[in-house]
Amino acid sequence: MQKIFPYILFSILAIAIIFLLVTGNNRNNRRLDERVTLRKQDKIPYGTYVAYNNLKYIFPGAAIYTSRREPGYWDSLSNYGDNQALIINSRPMKKK
């Protein structure tokens, strides 16, 4: 049994290495989604899903509003009280 043990150990090790090489290629084929959307429901790297959903924990007791309107069309921010935070999430406009 002692003479066979190194061969069994080597074959198990070789099978494990081959298995890792074959299954490891599938992970390398996945590509990073590089789209910049900044939408609150996107979970891709540039999406803001986690940030938006954690605002209620970062600012407890605060009302959270979202708007797609330009700042010139907003109501006066002073109407909402003294303790407020303004978070603007935007990306630069594309050059024409």
pLDDT of residue 27: 58
pLDDT of residue 77: 60
Q: At residue 52, does pLDDT exceed 80?
A: yes
Q: What is the mean pLDDT of residues 18-27?
A: 74
pLDDT of residue 15: 93
Rounded to a whole number, what is the distance in angstroms from the first to the last CA of the chain?
Answer: 77
Distance (Å) of CA 72 to CA 76, 81, 94: 10, 19, 21
pLDDT of residue 62: 80
Contact between 63 and 55 under an 8 Å Cβ cutoff? The reply is no
pLDDT of residue 28: 56
Q: What is the mean pLDDT of residues 29-48?
A: 78
Residue with tokens 């069994």: 8
Look at residues 62, 66, 54, 52 and name the one whose alpha carbon lies nearest to residue 85.
Answer: 62
Contact between 42 and 49 under an 8 Å Cβ cutoff? The reply is yes
